[in-house]
Amino acid sequence: MLSVLQVLAAVTAFSWSASAGTTMTVTNWGDNPSNLPALLVYTPSNLASNPPIVVGLHPCGGSGPQFMAEFDIPAFADQLGFPVLYPTSGVEDGINCWDCWSNKSLSHNGGGESQGVAAMVSWALTHFNGDPSRVFAIGASSGGMFGNVLAATDPNLFAGIASWSGVPAGCFVGATSSTPANPDQSCATGAKARTLSAAQWAALALGSYPGYTGARPKMLITHGTADTVVSILNFNAQLAQWSTVLGLTFTRNFTCDPTANWKLIVYGDGTKLIGFEVAGATSCRSMTRLRSSSSGFWAAQQPRPWAQPPLRQDNPFHHGDSQRRLWLVIFFNVLRRSDTDRSPRQFHC
């Protein structure tokens, strides 16, 4: 696995030119028990040998092509040489939302959407000669919720998962869908988060793959305090769930420059579970711009695993949403770093 310095060097060296790779659609990736639509695949022109595989999970109302266009992951793929899988969910309540509620999807090889996405990963590992120890997923809102589901149903496949505006795995148990139109909103509003204990959340995750004792993915959990659709209480519940599953205890909080509104929450030594609470942010599709000083977050003299590169005029993110950009850089710097990298600066803010 790449070391944190290698990842930082790669990200800092980004030219931020327009994506130069190719896209293709795949319909015959293998198991597809829930009849998921065609898979969109982005392949960089400089595909690495034995590359990582990254899965991008769209929010409710979105699609694989929408998520590719809205979150510029290909800019990272072009520099690091990995393919990106963009699946599209089935339709619930008239809109595309991931199945985070049914027993089929909440069970390992249970015949639901999670099994279909797992089959996509297996296809990609074969097609690209990918590295099975470096499979990652990144999801927003419904995609973040489904990322938690995949961490529970297929921990054997994923090395790391990043979620923004997600909920714990199993949060929608008992509902009839996992959309904003579902009459049971006890999950999204945080009502369940208020009542279930960490042990109960952990039991829901562990119940998705009974008897599994192998490695589990790193988790990067992010949420905005002003999210009115998915309560911030679900952020705390996710941290409670995965810290219990992973056997980790809370270490400490950090308020990091330049983002006075971003709080880093560390569990254990920070290599398996961290959270970012973003004060004032809503969902990841409607973030406000960040402010920063040249002597703070951008400063090169104190590199951090989550530090993003200086803005350049040719950076396609320059006129976009800087909080979304920051989240992507955090993902590719923190989630992909070596488990053995525990330098004293790792949590320096």
- Residues with Cβ within 8 Å of 45's Cβ and at least 6 positions away in sequence, in order, are 20, 21, 22, 78
CA atoms within 13 A of residue 322's CA, in its CB half-sphere: 17
Distance CA 10, CA 346 (A): 18
Catalytic residue among 19, 102, 122, 141: 141
Kind plus residue range of the DSSP H or E element containing 234: helix 233-246
3-state helix, strand, coil in the chain (%, to 5): 30, 15, 55
Answer yes or no: 141 catalytic.
Answer: yes
Q: Which residue in 165, 12, 21, 28 sits closest to 100, CA to CA?
A: 165
Distance CA 56, CA 277 (A): 21
Distance CA 153, CA 138 (A): 16
The torsion angles phi and psi of 218, rounded to 5 degrees, stand at -65, 150
C-alpha dihedral (303, 14, 1, 254), degrees to nearest 10: 30
Assess whether the previous peptide bond of 83 is cis (omega < 30° from 0).
no
As annotated, the active-site residues are: 141
